[in-house]
Amino acid sequence: MEPYKIFIVEDDPWYGEILEYHLSLNEDYLITRFTTGKECLANLHKKPDLISIDFSLPDFTGDKLYQRIKETDDSIPVIVISGQEEIAVAVNLLKMGVTDYLIKDENTKDMLWNAVINIRKMGNLKKEVEHLKEELGQKFAFDKSIKGNSPALLKSFALMEKATKTNINVSITGETGTGKEVVSKAIHYNSERKKKPFVAVNMAAIPKELVESELFGHEKGAFTGAVARKAGKFEEANGGSIFLDEIAELDLNLQSKILRVLQEREVVRVGGNEKVKLDIRLIVATHKNLAEEVKKGNFREDLYYRIIGLPIELPPLRDRGNDVLVLAKFFTDEFARDNKLGSTSISSEAKQRLLSYHFPGNIRELKAIMELASVMCTDGEVTAEDITFNSTKSDEIFTMELKTLRQYTCDIIKHFLHKYDDDVLLVAEKLDIGKSTIYKMIQQKEIVLA
């Protein structure tokens, strides 16, 4: 383990030795002592993990030395030890960012010991958080978070890559289930803002009367139930990215307020006057055509031009060719791993069945289909019989694949047999065909009853 490097800056040799000796009782600490601020500054290239400074040095006061240290390396925690008990001095230093302020007395060495332990713990926690954020960034690498290599998807990848290079607003469009939030996270975690917050808000999921409070925050007493100050989503995202999903669902009144926030780069909490400055990257998404919504009068034109930024349109799954199979395999592997099922393969017939389907629910629907198939399959192989389409669309039985009339007839009958619990007589009546036609298809194994 690397030693924890501590600088002690103390002009009183006797007192400095006491502090050095006491901290040296921990063998993990590497202590270096200086008697002037200049010596400390000249050795900052050694990258200390913590610095303890006396407030009254011959060449620097504590606040001036602290400022110089921060100008060189803003990440180093600093403890100030002082013979002054003036509260104003302590408050001023703590406001400047000093990690701790200790008064010189008989307990100082023990207080310093505890302060170093706490600071080291906090430092380790910060490193762990940074490590987790790095891992999160790797998780959201484009090729890991978004599966597929179809030309339609690669076009989207190229735009996403451009989005990560600047702070331009991004607007993502695409059908429901195409992965708009995944794309927004990938853009954030591959940008310079990746170590700052990513805050996602589904505008369609928040009750209309709560949207303003959720986005902008509120002060205590702003309305009934506001028992304490609350930061809004914009404030939570400060320094990072805010993702507003289903932006087209905002009513016109709130659209004007969001426009003002984006123009002024500041937000005022509901019931308050304080202006909170914002530094955010805005990413929005919708399954609607915003330009059409503007023409209909449902969306403000000025807000449209403010948020449109770099437009990225995500292709529907039916236009992504063999990406369907790449995703299907990914979802079965993921489900098998999470549920300790062992490896799962997909038969060639099952693959053809997947490729012939139009997936109105897109990636979200495919995931549900493959998870169910993983449960229903035997011997670790997903077969065509394990693939169940439960689309809510009325035209689900029609696919993009060219079929014979006989195949379409078979698909229609299978669909309604499934819908009506294999009641042949009822299906024959509903479709106005002879029941013998259905029985013959069953006999010839063109239709397999559940």
pLDDT tens, position by position, 46-96: 999 999 999 989 999 888 999 999 988 888 999 999 887 777 778 888 888
Neighbours of 353 (CB within 10 A): 20
Is residue 242 very low, low, confident or very high in pLDDT (cuts 50, 70, 90)?
A: very high
Instruction: Check: CB of residue 344 under 8 Å from CB of residue 386.
Output: no
pLDDT, residue 225, reads: 79
Instruction: Check: CB of residue 51 under 8 Å from CB of residue 6.
Output: yes
Beta bridge partners of 33: 8
Cα dist from 298 to 172, 248, 249, 263, whole Å: 18, 8, 9, 20
Among the ranges given (10-24, 78-92, 332-346), the one the predictor scored with the smallest mean pLDDT: 78-92
pLDDT, residue 394, reads: 46
- Here the tokens at position 247 are 């932006």
Nearest C-alpha neighbor of 217 from the set 232, 199, 234, 236 = 232
Tell me which H or E stretch contains 89.
Answer: helix 87-96
Instruction: Check: CB of residue 355 under 8 Å from CB of residue 329.
Output: no
- Tens digit of each residue's pLDDT (9 = 90 or more) over 95-134: 888 999 898 888 888 899 999 998 988 887 777 656 555 5
* 402: amino acid identity, one letter: L
Backbone dihedral region of 435: left (phi > 0), alpha (psi from -120 to 50 degrees) or beta?
A: alpha
HSE of 360 in the Cβ direction (CA atoms, 13 Å)? 11
Instruction: Check: CB of residue 75 under 8 Å from CB of residue 195.
Output: no
Question: In angstroms, how far is CA 377 from the centroid of its own chain?
Answer: 33
d(CA 86, CA 434): 98
* 391: amino acid identity, one letter: S
- Here the tokens at position 83 are 């013979």
Q: What is the mean pLDDT of residues 214-242?
A: 90
Instruction: Check: CB of residue 48 under 8 Å from CB of residue 78.
Output: no
Instruction: Check: CB of residue 191 under 8 Å from CB of residue 281.
Output: yes
d(CA 397, CA 266): 51
- Tens digit of each residue's pLDDT (9 = 90 or more) over 131-186: 555 555 555 555 566 788 888 888 888 898 899 999 999 999 999 889 899 899 98
d(CA 17, CA 14): 5
Nearest C-alpha neighbor of 370 from the set 404, 412, 330, 401 = 330
Beta bridge partners of 31: 6
Nearest C-alpha neighbor of 365 from the set 317, 411, 333 = 317
235 has pLDDT over 90: yes
d(CA 146, CA 330): 11
418 has pLDDT over 80: no
d(CA 421, CA 46): 76
Instruction: Check: CB of residue 203 under 8 Å from CB of residue 247.
Output: yes
How does strand 266-268 pair with strand 275-277?
antiparallel
Nearest C-alpha neighbor of 67 from the set 58, 81, 80 = 80
